[in-house]
């Protein structure tokens, strides 16, 4: 199995849009830099939290071009390259590999339902074969609540066996710890990231390599503390703290809530903009969200200032 | 409400791929012509049956370019222009409208789950507003088994009210007659096509304008007989005949089965090729499918020859 290009706390970066709904490269670059300054170990741009599928392939590639041109280190980037067609996925991957991205995060062909493991295998294999690059490091993106197409335990094993130097890990956004545990047990050395920091400590204790988590957009320092101290007596208390923050946020629609939090703490109201079909958090939802966060002492603003000092 | 650009039997055209998996424009053009010769009233290219989402936007537009260049009448074309992003949908629609296509078939942004009617409304409205063309005629594509995002009765009403000259109809692939019936009752004059010929006669009796059906790829003449004779005493017997043919085919995976039937009756084995994640019908499935069809006297080959004579 190939060496792991990523470990630690990875953030599926929120995508800022202008008030008229265009991707805002300037604010995107600034936010990516800020996340790395906060301690993020990698940036999983163009994930679900990034509203990646609300952008055309061209818009995604243009944003990546801008990020690279701005000097953000490409080894830290794991762009989402999922698409329902082999051809579009290949275009996105070739672009990412051409930029030297550390890896890519790969959805199954999510339009389809009721496909067999064999059909999904043929899709992923078709993508890897067409790309044909020894530089490609692919992370499978298991998120059945969105795709309804799972990367089953057996399918993952088949892909690792066929492409040991390419298929190097998996993001498990099933929300089902027993699935993550089964993967960790079955494939030691495979780079498994739970899709939520709620499972970070459990994952690390069973061989996981970190987490890729939406709430990383607003809580890298807290989540990194668990990653750095997981073998210390403080680990469970630190985990309880980030679990509480996560649960407070996810009581609201996740992406609009995260964007609202960024807008608030970065004092930049346009950050709350989402692309349809998502809807901006209403004022009636924003007020209790921010109050709930204040109640648990969540202070991104202060952390931001501390980091900047 | 705008005049209806389409009525009758529309076919979501199968997309032929070469043995190496490339879209085959030559065989696509020939097949579209054959379907029109068979009596198809319109071609809903790039639907679910067409494996449209297994092609990139560029591949779809290139195929449409070739079809138009070959002289297939654009007024008879209703390309699928669904995408998860407003920007990609706008690109596809501008291309179709630029070619003078009679209409377009529009999926909701299918990656997303649990969106509100308001969010889906904003998506469709955003697409229509950005296209900004009085020539656009849009059919909503309601197919919750694939998308998990419905065009609810209320949402359809809201879109008709806001865009009476643009949102002119709907394909109902819910497979739920009570939903089709509710739409027909609520919105008289709106162009409602059941997504299966199983509901053709019921639809016509309640104000429907035809059907858009996968099995049209292999049975336009039979389905058209119901459309032409729905007010005659033979209607129920004719309907029973096409329902039996449909149910025989859909006992197998639909798209691979249809492609296998075309390969058989057109004596062109490459027609059986699908793109992953779909899988070609196995020999173990093909033999009973063709035997079942023979048993009910299904003879596309003879019809084809008759039509050619």
C-alpha closest to that of B222 among B247, B193, B243: B243
Mean pLDDT of chain B: 95
Look at residue A294 and tell me whether its pLDDT is greater than 50.
yes
DSSP code of residue B8: E
Q: Is A133 on the interface with B (CB under 8 A)?
A: no
Question: Given pLDDT bands bounded at 50, 70 and 90, which one contains residue A2?
Answer: low
Report the predicted TM-score, pTM, of the whole model to 2 decimal places: 0.96
C-alpha closest to that of A9 among A171, A176, A178, A153: A171
Q: Is A42 on the interface with B (CB under 8 A)?
A: no
Q: Considering CB atoms only, which of A112, A125, A278 is closest to B119? A: A278
CA–CA separation, B273 vs A22, rounded Å? 39
DSSP code of residue A271: G
For an interface test with A, give the residue of B46, B47, B111 to mutate (most A CBs within 10 A). Answer: B111
DSSP code of residue A134: T
Token pair for A43: 């940036």
Give A287: exposed, middle or buried? Use CB within 10 Å, 0-12, 13-18, 19+.
exposed
Q: What is the ipTM of this complex?
A: 0.95
Please state the rounded mean pLDDT for residues A127-149: 97
For an interface test with A, give the residue of B85, B252, B257 to mutate (most A CBs within 10 A). Answer: B85
Q: How many CB atoms lie within 10 A of CB A172?
A: 31
Q: Considering CB atoms only, which of B54, B85, B112 is closest to A84? A: B54
CA–CA separation, A217 vs A303, rounded Å? 13
Token pair for A14: 């929120």
C-alpha closest to that of B212 among B295, B53, B104: B104
Question: Given pLDDT bands bounded at 50, 70 and 90, which one contains residue A1?
Answer: low
State which residue of chain A sits closest to B56, comparing Cα positions: A88
Task: Report the gap between the CA of B88 and the closest CA in chain A (Å).
Answer: 5
Q: Is B84 on the interface with A (CB under 8 A)?
A: yes
Specify the pLDDT at position B2. 66
CA–CA separation, A175 vs B42, rounded Å? 45
Residue with tokens 């795709």: A147
Look at residue B172 and tell me whether its pLDDT is greater than 80.
yes
| Segment 257-276 of chain B within 8 Å of chain A by CB | 275-276
Beta bridge partner(s), residue A234: none
Please state the rounded mean pLDDT for residues A276-288: 97
Task: Report the gap between the CA of A22 and the closest CA in chain B (Å).
Answer: 10
Q: Do A276 and B109 touch (CB under 8 A)?
A: yes
C-alpha closest to that of A193 among A172, A165, A221: A172
Residue with tokens 């789950």: B113
Q: Is B117 on the interface with A (CB under 8 A)?
A: no
Look at residue A303 and tell me whether its pLDDT is greater than 90.
no
Give B-chain residues touching A145 at CB under 8 angstroms.
113
CA–CA separation, A82 vs A105, rounded Å? 7
Residues in Cβ contact with B114 at an 8 Å cutoff, skipping those fewer than 6 apart:
none
Percentage of chain B beyond pLDDT 90 is: 94
Task: Report the gap between the CA of B85 and the closest CA in chain A (Å).
Answer: 4
Please state the rounded mean pLDDT for residues A251-261: 97
| Collapsed DSSP state (helix, strand, coil) of residue A236 | helix
Q: Which of A36-40, A167-171, B299-303 comes out lowest in average pLDDT?
A: B299-303
Look at residue A55 and tell me whether its pLDDT is greater than 70.
yes
Work out whether the CA dihedral B163, B165, B166, B167 comes out positive or negative: positive
Q: Is B85 on the interface with A (CB under 8 A)?
A: yes
Look at residue A290 and tell me whether its pLDDT is greater than 90.
yes
Of how many residues is chain B composed? Answer: 309
Task: Report the gap between the CA of B271 and the closest CA in chain A (Å).
Answer: 18
Q: Write the pLDDT tens digit of every residue in B262-307.
A: 999 999 999 999 999 999 999 999 999 999 999 998 877 444 444 4
Q: Write the pLDDT tens digit of every residue in A183-233.
A: 999 999 999 999 999 999 999 999 999 999 999 999 999 999 999 999 999
Q: Is A86 on the interface with B (CB under 8 A)?
A: yes
Please state the rounded mean pLDDT for residues A164-188: 98
Rounded to 10 deg, the angle between the B86-98 and B57-69 helix axes is 10
Q: Considering CB atoms only, which of B21, B88, B279 is closest to A56? A: B88
> CB–CB of A234/A210 below 8 Å?
no
Q: Do B279 and A56 touch (CB under 8 A)?
A: no
CA–CA separation, A47 vs A29, rounded Å? 16
């Amino acid at each position: 199995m190939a060496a792991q290009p990523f470990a630690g706390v990875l953030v599926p970066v929120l995508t800022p849009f202008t008030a008229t709904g265009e991707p805002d490269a300037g604010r995107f670059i600034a936010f990516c830099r800020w996340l790395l300054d906060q301690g993020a170990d990698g940036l999983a741009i163009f994930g679900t939290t990034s509203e990646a599928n609300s952008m055309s392939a061209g818009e995604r590639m243009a944003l990546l071009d801008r990020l690279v041109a701005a000097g953000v280190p490409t080894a830290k980037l794991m762009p989402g390259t999922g698409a329902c067609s082999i051809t579009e996925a290949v275009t996105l991957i070739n672009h990412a590999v051409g930029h030297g991205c550390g890896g890519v995060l790969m959805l199954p062909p999510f339009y389809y339902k009721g496909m067999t493991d064999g059909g999904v295998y043929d899709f992923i294999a078709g993508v890897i074969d067409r790309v044909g690059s020894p530089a490609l490091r692919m992370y499978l993106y298991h998120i059945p609540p969105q795709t309804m197409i799972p990367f089953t335990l057996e399918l993952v094993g088949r892909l690792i066996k066929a492409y040991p130097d390419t298929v190097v890990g998996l993001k498990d956004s099933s929300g089902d710890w027993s699935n993550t545990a089964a993967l960790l047990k079955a494939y030691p050395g495979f780079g498994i990231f739970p899709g939520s920091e709620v499972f970070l400590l459990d994952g690390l204790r069973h061989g996981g390599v970190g987490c890729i988590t939406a709430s990383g957009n607003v809580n890298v320092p807290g989540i990194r503390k668990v990653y750095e101290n997981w073998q210390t007596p403080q680990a469970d208390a630190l985990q309880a703290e980030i679990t509480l923050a996560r649960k407070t946020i996810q009581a609201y629609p996740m992406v609009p809530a995260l964007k609202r939090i960024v807008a608030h703490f970065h004092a930049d109201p346009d950050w709350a903009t989402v692309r349809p079909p998502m809807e901006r958090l209403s004022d009636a939802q924003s007020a209790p969200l921010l109050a709930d966060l204040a109640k648990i002492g969540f202070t991104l603003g202060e952390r931001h200032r501390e980091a900047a000092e």
